[in-house]
Structure 1
Amino acid sequence: MAYVAPEGEFNRDTQYIETRITADGRDGYPVEPGRYRLVVARACPWANRAIIVRRLLGLEDVLSIGYCGPTHDERSWTFDLDPGGVDPVLKIPRLQDAYFTRFPDYPKGITVPAIVDVPTGAVVTNDFAQMTLDFSLEWAEYHRPGAPQLYPEPLRAEIDDVAKRIYTEVNNGVYRCGFAGSQSAYDAAYDRLFTALDWLSERLAAQRFLVGDTITEADVRLFTTLVRFDPVYHGHFKCNRQKLAEMPVLWAYARDLFQTPGFGDTVDFGQIKQHYYLVHTDINPTHVVPKGPDLSNWHTPHGRESLGGRPFGEGTPPGPVVD
């Protein structure tokens, strides 16, 4: 399967299934404990957002989760981590089965994260950006005691502005570098990415978190790219002006989040590397997965406490990871 853009510049298809699961059920899918299954892959940065937010808000008991393996073929993500390669709740081997149950002629890629309606086996949504906001807003009745405010109303406009630039320039920016099909497209993408990373470094030099003095949705969205930067994007996607570990402010910021319950405990570096180096065969035709880098330094002191801030605001950290 080819990922590099033959025309030069990589442009992501941003049309997703816009159906929403809401408290009032206006799209036909009301919030109901136990009704839905969140399907993710630890390898995927977009899915990693949903894993983090579900855990921070304490939705484990009301929204089950299914994990795809780190690789997929041209057709679909698969449940090859489960016994027999079948999801134990949905009883399907491929996520595409849930997509086709609702849309028999679904023409786009089968993406994670996706939420599936368990009674019908049909996909509800794969709109990853709206999904995590709805976890904060529409699922509020089922948040754990002490759940943080990841999308507080007074800060939403600023969170939206920061998150938009993070998405276009950083989250998608690394892909724009990695999938560029010409030197000029790559050069332009590289410059845009590191301009944004320099802006983030400047913003975070004097404040612990991106917006306000607590963790918000904006931090979740940046973290999932930063945590993949040195293992994958620096080499595989040629984002190599510096490693994350050579950008002092962002490196300390990323370690601060990684060491916060709900962030680092959702990360699997092995699956991350397997996904990118095995799936992108036009970039890495040998399928060789690098052994490095040494990732033990994620646990070293970060010193960001000196900037103040209250990671969970008036709330509390999530408890131990649910089995």
Structure 2
Amino acid sequence: MKKKYSDKTVLNDISFSIRQGEFVTLLGQSGCGKSTLLRAIAGIDGVDGGAIIVNGANITHLPSRKRDIGMVFQSYALFPNMTVAENIGYGLRVKKQKNDDAVRRIMESMGLGGMADKYPNELSGGQQQRVALARALIMKPKILLLDEPLSALDAKIRKTLQIEIKRIQKEMNITTIFVTHDQKEAMIMSDRIYVMNQGMIEQHGKPEDIYTRPKNKFVASFIGSYNIFDAKETKENITGAHEAGFYDIAIRPESIEMYRTDERVTTHDAFKATGRVLIRTINGSIVNYQIQLKTKIIQVERLFQGRVDFREGETVELRIPLSACVQLG
């Protein structure tokens, strides 16, 4: 699929497929083309090349209203003069399929029981997003498109809705394409992730595969808090790295083991480095350390168990298992 705005290429030969009932996430930074791709699938925006095929039918030039695709936006787009029940049932009324029982059932499923007569301005952000989602789901679309629907919500509500959306999507077996720039959100909700950059797909796969085996520097730097070493930095900072041929490598911060200088560190199946603790921060159950190596600062994460093991300014020995080093293309 191709899409241009003036002389700017927004989608550059994008090609991907989704299985029935799958939850797929388009993950990328703002401006990478993920929302444009979603709008093209919905029929809101046209394309300059390629085809959109659903169940064997070419819908590329079909009007959006005939595509049987539901879409939920970040802005909710609720009708302010309609009640919750009227908003949810709006699509059914337009198609002359009014069904109060269906509205009631989906409201209960979405945790909106007792709110039928309320108006959008009487609801919280999370409740409004539930209404918007229910309005799309009640039409039983072939495909559900979600364009950063949780980004405006606070962290607690967001976590709750992530789980709820995934549960309902699986129960209804609706093929779903989700757009987000939040890596953790993508990991939690997705069956598969497509990492996008500058109108192209950099890598796709299951969340665990994307996280543990990033394909290149962009994916490694975007999908998590990897420590990325180019060949020169590897040679300067990691003892035993000659065995890896001084490739560009990525190392997850939670995979690095920390020891005091008077402790014995085995180097079997591992590299070694020496550094100094610059900054130590506690983030819930995780302690994050910034470690100054010879020519590079890296992140190391350890489980917080009620006490902090290493002080700022302390010299530490690091053990880096070979299995934790991902060679980058």
TM bucket, shorter chain:
under 0.3
Greater relative CO, 1 or 2 (CA 8 Å, sep 6+): 1
Normalising by structure 1, what TM-score? 0.26
Q: Whose strand fraction is larger, Structure 1's or Structure 2's? A: 2
Normalising by structure 2, what TM-score? 0.26
Q: Whose helix fraction is larger, Structure 1's or Structure 2's? A: 1
